[in-house]
Structure 1
Amino acid sequence: MPLEFHQIDAFTDRPFAGNPAVVYRLQAWLDEALMQRIAAEHNQAETAFCVREGAGWRIRWFTPSCEVPLCGHATLATAHALFELYGEPGERLDFVCQSGALAVSREAGRLVLDFPTMRLEPADMSAEVARVLGQEVLEVRVGKELLALLPSEQAVRDCAPDLKALAQLPGLGVIVTAPGREHDFVSRYFAPGIGIDEDPVTGATHCILAPYWAARLDKSELRARQCSARGGELHCTLAGERVKIAGQAVLVASGTLFI
């Protein structure tokens, strides 16, 4: 059975930057184990599968090793594929996933994710996390993810964590963040426990970062940079318990998988 796929770089306007994702638009769901094997074969941070349900879409995301409940960049990539490659009409796509309802709109040449905010609780773990990260840690918050506040953008860029030890910390992964020199904040994201040593650009972590920095900076419009080796630009707007995350995407490859 042939299956068409597309590889799209998200949160960038040029190839080989941002965060790559593989997108499958399916007519019906495949077996979950098969989708996991397909994701492992592609070996990208995320492979997204979507199926039309009513007027919207159901979407699921798989890393090479497991399914995840929320993924921003692969949702952006999926919206780009549906709009630009499959000719979906209108300016908005509605999705349903494990984490609830999501939407992506086309606005002023960018795609805008509408995601739920996520908030973490303070944790007295700064010394432990500092040992794992090899950097001074000013604050730690924990929930679905672990967030570590570092003193500067340079500290975020220089961070070289012990990935084996990091995988033992609470949460799916670890977000390191600091005030930016040219952006409101910068971040990086490490998640070896789910098969991603470092994610190049992570939309979902900005569901945590946007409300965190909005409170610290007392502003609802935020410019963000995820300063991985590939890097990516995100524009975040906090709107109550929702966060809008805007970025661009570019197609880099298309092909057919035979199973």
Structure 2
Amino acid sequence: MTIPIYQADAFTNQLYGGNPAAVCPLTEWLPNETMQKIAAENNLAETAFFIKTPEGYHLRWFTPELEIDLCGHATLATAHILFTELGHNEPAIHFTTEKAGTLIVTRNGDRYTLDFPSRPPYPAELPEGLIGALGLGDKLPKQVLRSRDYFLVYEDEQDILNIVPDHSALSKVDAIGIIVTAPGKTVDFVSRFFAPAAGVAEDPVTGSAHCNLIPYWADLLGKNELHAYQLSARKGELWCEHKGDRALMSGNAVTYLKGEIYI
């Protein structure tokens, strides 16, 4: 038995940039164990699986270690494959998900806009060992917050670039991931995202983190339209909008491969 597989780089307009995600169209769900094994074999931050429904598509995401509740870049990659490879010709795609509700992706030329839930972070206590694991010495963040992930705010972009994480130590922090962010030099804000506990040492570009970042920076800067970079080695670019209880993020995507998986 075989199933199709595609891989696309999301939040970039260049191959080998942004965040790669695998996309697997299905006619019916495979056993969870099989989907988890495929994600581990792909060894990408996320592998997306979807099936057609009367309303649109049902979408799920797996890291190499676990099924995740929300993933932006793999949703963008899935929409890109549907629009460019699988003949979707409606102006929008509606994805139903178990834990994030309905997610809508629209296309405008070669840019896609994701309509995601806004998840403003709230003040939190700094967990033991987190600061030491980031490799900034004794430098403390200006703020410590949390939503699903810990959310640390630093003074400037250079602080974010200077982080050299101890991934083994970070994996002991009780959270899916750790967001670090600061004002940008040429954009409104920058960020990085680490999730070693989920099998992702550093995620190149993280849509789910921007569900936290967008409402935080919109409130702080007093503006609803924002431009952002995620400063991983592959780098990602996002155009963002805060719309009340929704966070909109736009970006490009490019197809890297298509083929078949034997299962």
TM-score range, shorter chain: over 0.9
1:205 corresponds, among 204, 209, 216, to 209
- Residue 106 (structure 1) aligned with residue 107 (structure 2): yes
Distance 1:32 1:64 in 2: 13
The alignment-based identity, stated in percent, is 45
C-alpha RMSD of matched pairs (Å): 1.2
Q: CA deviation at 1:108?
A: 4.3
State the partner residue of 2:251.
247
Encode CA deviations 1:178-217: one digit per residue, 9 max, x unaligned: 0000110000000000000000001110000000101110
TM-score (norm 1): 0.97
State the partner residue of 2:7.
7
- Contact preservation (8 Å) 2:92, 2:105: yes
- Contact preservation (8 Å) 1:126, 1:138: no
State the partner residue of 2:237.
233
Distance 2:55 2:215 in 1: 30
Q: Find the residue that maps to 1:245 and give its secondary structure.
A: strand
Q: CA deviation at 1:127?
A: 8.1
Encode CA deviations 1:105-138: one digit per residue, 9 max, x unaligned: 0124310000000122212328853222133211
Q: CA deviation at 1:9?
A: 0.3
State the partner residue of 2:119.
118
The alignment covers a number of residue pairs equal to 259
- Closer/same/farther in 2, CA of residues 127 and 139 from structure 1, 3 Å limit: farther
Q: CA deviation at 1:219?
A: 0.5
State the partner residue of 2:184.
180
- Closer/same/farther in 2, CA of residues 65 and 83 from structure 1, 3 Å limit: same
Distance 1:12 1:89 in 2: 22
TM-score (norm 2): 0.96
- Contact preservation (8 Å) 1:145, 1:170: no
**Mind listing any 5+ residue stretches in structure 1 that lack a counterpart?**
none
- Which residue type is aligned with residue 118 of structure 2? T
Distance 1:43 1:14 in 2: 21
- Contact preservation (8 Å) 1:116, 1:243: yes
Q: CA deviation at 1:101?
A: 0.8
Distance 2:188 2:170 in 1: 26
Q: CA deviation at 1:55?
A: 2.5
- Contact preservation (8 Å) 1:11, 1:247: yes
- Which residue type is aligned with residue 108 of structure 2? E
Distance 1:134 1:185 in 2: 21
- Contact preservation (8 Å) 1:164, 1:192: yes
State the partner residue of 2:70.
70
Runs of 4+ in structure 1 off by over 3 angstroms are 126-129
State the partner residue of 1:83.
83
